[in-house]
Structure 1
Amino acid sequence: MQKTSQQLQAVFCTEAQLPSVVDQLYQFRKKLFVDALRWDLRVEHGRERDQFDTDTAVHCAIFRDGSLFAGFRAIRTDRPYLAESVFPQLATFAAYPRRHDAWEISRFGVAPSQAGSTTAKVLYSLMFHFARTRQASALVALTDLRHERFLTQIGVRTRRYGPPQVLGLDEKGDPLVLVAGDIPVATQDGWRFDNLLNLAKTVEIDDETLVLGSERLSA
């Protein structure tokens, strides 16, 4: 797999398809979520991975100049997934979905050195690219209130499954307030959302998980 210099590249794959890329993601997740954000997660041999990193999980790795700086994991909700399995108490208004057309997005993050608003928007744009190629009706996630507000600012509508709850402490020792919910894909519109989608056009996308096989394209 070739990397394009001076250009963003996103790779979608399973661990079986590109084990070296997913291994980089596990190391990146340890540095970001455990070392920087102080999440209490299991680490083995410098890598963060959990029981939901199965053969069916789809991983997205984003590179700049050959260096991985962002990514996320996607799991169909008709299979076991993190939010429903580990945080059932967060869904009190509505039940977590169990459908083949709803996907959970987790381990979503950007390296602190690249955490400007434009970079974060590219990651969200690629998340919607993924949703559209899978004909997903909803994207399920756990998020803190800061990220929920950021989504509103960039024109993304969300739905809560329950009220925010304090679940531990953040990297500064302040209460970490999380909320479970989803993004209904079909109802997203408006100029801010259109601008967000257009950011994916700046990225070279390599999707190893397409039904017809690997296909390189400009989004």
Structure 2
Amino acid sequence: MQTASKHLRAVFCTETQNPSVVDQLYQFRKTLFVDALRWDLTVKRGRERDQFDTGSTIHCALFRSGNLIAGFRAIRTDRPYLAQSVFPHLATFAAYPQRHDVWEISRFGVLPSEAGSITARLLYSLMFHLAYRCGASALVALADLRYERFLTQLGIRTRRYGPPQIVGLDETGKPLSLVAGDIPLANQRGWRFEALLKLAADVEIDDETLVLGSDRLSA
């Protein structure tokens, strides 16, 4: 396995706390999700953002040597969130949660140039770092079947809210199937999961959110 660069820095913040970092994330999301993956999303002035990017949304930006290479956002499910609002039909086995201790992870992405590197694993490690700091009991997400399999390879245990359903086309023009579900924190165990958590130790973390408090962890 490749090792992480020692020039990695992650920032957790809201848009109010760090508008510059979040603006970079909006531009990053346009480049990745609209230009590369061809998602049908609204773009204004070169930035992709939607109604779920509110003052309470927590953003994570991962930088290598000052360059933004990955990110995601986190929204508490007792507030409006993407999966429940836009894809309600994907939850047929179980209802979407509406709880302060369950968070949705969305707009999770890594630069295409980072494909095959350790970056995606680092981003998942940071996701769990956030979840534990927030006292989350579960993380809700939408995933295509490729990423669902990738989670299994990382040792992450998931629960489906319903069967996969075709919601559109992928970047190659083939049908895109999504599945809704969650990652229950209490069910995560095993050596692969423990190894995943340790990856965050290679990242300098700037935590600007009120949920997490103010701290810095350095490699």
TM-score class, shorter: over 0.9
Aligned-residue identity in percent: 77
Distance in 2 (alpha carbons) for counterparts of 1:152 and 1:176: 19
In the alignment, is the contact (CA less than 8 A) between 2:144 and 2:179 conserved in 1? yes
In the alignment, is the contact (CA less than 8 A) between 2:6 and 2:203 conserved in 1? no
**1:76-87 correspondence runs (5 A):** 76-87=76-87
- Relative distance call for 1:25 and 1:178 in structure 2 (3 A) is same
Normalization by structure 1: what TM-score?
Answer: 0.96
Report the aligned-residue RMSD: 1.3
Residue 10 of structure 2: SS of its match in structure 1?
Answer: strand
Distance in 2 (alpha carbons) for counterparts of 1:136 and 1:203: 21
- The amino acid of 1:143's aligned partner reads A
Determine whether 1:28 maps to 2:53: no
Alpha-carbon shift at residue 150 of structure 1 (Å): 0.2
Distance in 1 (alpha carbons) for counterparts of 2:83 and 2:113: 28
- Structure 2 unaligned segments of length 5 or more: list them: none
Determine whether 1:152 maps to 2:159: no
- Relative distance call for 1:110 and 1:212 in structure 2 (3 A) is closer
Residue 93 of structure 1: SS of its match in structure 2?
Answer: coil
**1:69-108 correspondence runs (5 A):** 69-108=69-108
Aligned to 2:202: 202
Determine whether 1:178 maps to 2:163: no
- Relative distance call for 1:92 and 1:203 in structure 2 (3 A) is same
Q: How many residues align?
A: 215
Aligned to 1:57: 57
- The amino acid of 1:29's aligned partner reads R
Distance in 1 (alpha carbons) for counterparts of 2:195 and 2:22: 29
**1:92-131 correspondence runs (5 A):** 92-131=92-131
- The amino acid of 2:8's aligned partner reads L
- Structure 1 unaligned segments of length 5 or more: list them: none
Report Cα offsets for 1:52-96 as digits up to 9, x if no partner.
000000000000000001000000000000000000000000000
Report Cα offsets for 1:19-71 as digits up to 9, x if no partner.
00000000000000000000000000000000000000000000000000100
Alpha-carbon shift at residue 187 of structure 1 (Å): 1.1
Distance in 2 (alpha carbons) for counterparts of 1:215 and 1:57: 19
Residue 131 of structure 1: SS of its match in structure 2?
Answer: helix
Normalization by structure 2: what TM-score?
Answer: 0.96
Distance in 2 (alpha carbons) for counterparts of 1:213 and 1:120: 25
Distance in 1 (alpha carbons) for counterparts of 2:172 and 2:198: 34
Distance in 1 (alpha carbons) for counterparts of 2:104 and 2:213: 23
- The amino acid of 1:119's aligned partner reads T
- The amino acid of 1:148's aligned partner reads E
Distance in 1 (alpha carbons) for counterparts of 2:77 and 2:146: 25
- Relative distance call for 1:189 and 1:32 in structure 2 (3 A) is same
Alpha-carbon shift at residue 216 of structure 1 (Å): 1.5
Residue 177 of structure 2: SS of its match in structure 1?
Answer: strand
